[in-house]
Amino acid sequence: MEKELEFNVDGMTCGNCVAHVKKAIAQISGVESVEVSLEEKKVKVSTNGQVTAAQITEAIEEEGYDVV
């Protein structure tokens, strides 16, 4: 079943940051789409329901950004 997860992410300052975060999350198997709002510092991820929030948090943190 499809599931949407939302994260508040600190440290993104420009379009490159957004691209890095998007790419890192999109590589996780089971992720269907990623939306990033630089202004709101929000990341919305649609998944097939088989992806955990912890997996996504890890991917964001590996890119050097903070999930708050």
Residues of the shown chain interacting with Cu ion in the complex, contacts defined by CB under 5 A: 13-14, 16-17
- Of 2 and 39, nearer to Cu ion (C-beta) is 39
| Single-letter amino acid, residue 11 | G
Q: How far is the CB of 32 from Cu ion (least distance, A)?
A: 25
Name the DSSP class of 13: -
Q: How far is the CB of 39 from Cu ion (least distance, A)?
A: 14
- Of 12 and 51, nearer to Cu ion (C-beta) is 12
CA dist., res. 34 & res. 27, Å (int): 10
CA dist., res. 2 & res. 14, Å (int): 30
- Of 26 and 49, nearer to Cu ion (C-beta) is 26
